[in-house]
Amino acid sequence: MKEIIVLFYAFAKVGILGFGGGHSIIPLIQIEVVNNYKWLNSEEFTEALAMANSLPGPITVKMSVFTGYKIAGMTGAGASVAGLLLPSLVLMLTLATFYLKYKDLPTVKGSLKGVRPVVIALLVLVTYNIFPSSINSWHTALIAVVSFCLVAFLNIHPALLIIGAALFGLTFYR
């Protein structure tokens, strides 16, 4: 039972402190599950992140499910997701009420404008943290560069790249 409460608490912290959603919250999850509680090591975290990116849906939910399930099975997965989503649900309902009423005020606009660069910095931090365990040879670097170019310049859907990379890995990295 203690594990369930700790999972809920750890992911509730992420749910409360995570701003920007999606990938910008990954560093917060990493701090909790790798650094603070050591539920996953860096390699497991990177593998879970790769799996989560290859599936549809919110990445933070998938990361919480993976971690919770590893630690305490289905109950742990449920506690992790509940911890992650409950603060957001309550805060979003509260914020939506005020935002819809005050969205045109300069202070509200200014605050949101100031937070956006922090989200970019958190995305860069995720890349920096997972780089060593993801790009560990010239061919994995080449896969990353080609993938980036295909998405950025040719608008190839990321799901196609993930499937292609998985097939490539199955063929050449066994």
76-117 pLDDT, tens digit each: 999 999 999 998 899 889 989 988 998 899 998 898 899 889
User: b or e along 128-155 (b: 16 or more beta carbons within 10 Å of the residue's beta carbon)?
Assistant: ebbeeebbeeeeeeebeeebeebeeeee
Distance CA 146, CA 139 (A): 10
The one-letter amino acid code at 54 reads S
Task: Quote the percentage of the chain above a pLDDT of 70.
Answer: 99
**pTM score over 0.75:** no
Do residues 3 and 76 make contact, with C-beta atoms less than 8 angstroms apart?
yes
Checking if the pLDDT of 19 tops 80, the result is: no
Checking if the pLDDT of 174 tops 90, the result is: no
Across the chain, mean pLDDT equals 90
Do residues 118 and 46 make contact, with C-beta atoms less than 8 angstroms apart?
no
Checking if the pLDDT of 22 tops 90, the result is: no
Provide the residue ranges of all domains of the chain, joining segments of one domain with +.
Answer: 2-134
